[in-house]
Structures are given as C-alpha cells and as structure tokens.
Amino acid sequence: MQWGPASQQQLLKVLEKIYENGVPIKEYMDGRTYLGENLSYEEIQAFKSKYSLKMNN
C-alpha cells in the first residue's frame, strides 16, 4: 500500500477525531509528532490544552 497525500490527510483526520475524543495516543513520524507536526514545548502545551489531554510525554 502506498501512502500518498490523500491517505496521509485521511490519517490526520482520524487522528484529530481520536484527540477530540480525549484518547491519549503517541504518534511517531520521523520522531514524536502531533497531527503530523513537530511542535515546540509551548505548542505541545497548547495542543494538550486544545484537546484536553493529560499526557506525560
């Protein structure tokens, strides 16, 4: 199976729904990511706040 841009966008939509439902998951795409993005510490804190997540890492 090939992962083109459309498949990646579908995956990101699914991940966002998972976060919206408060499910703590860890995603890795060339390192730890959040909805496919590498975030700074401050951005991670905002992300956790937006999705009401309580993750240790």
- In the chain, where the domains are located: 5-50
Alpha-carbon span 1 to 32, nearest angstrom: 23
Each residue's pLDDT tens digit, 12-55: 999 999 999 988 888 888 888 999 899 999 999 999 899 888 76
Quote the pLDDT of residue 31: 86
Quote the pLDDT of residue 18: 93
As a whole number, mean pLDDT of residues 1-13 equals 84
Q: Look up the pTM and report it.
A: 0.74
Alpha-carbon span 57 to 39, nearest angstrom: 13
Closest of 29, 40, 39, 31 to residue 7, by C-alpha:
29
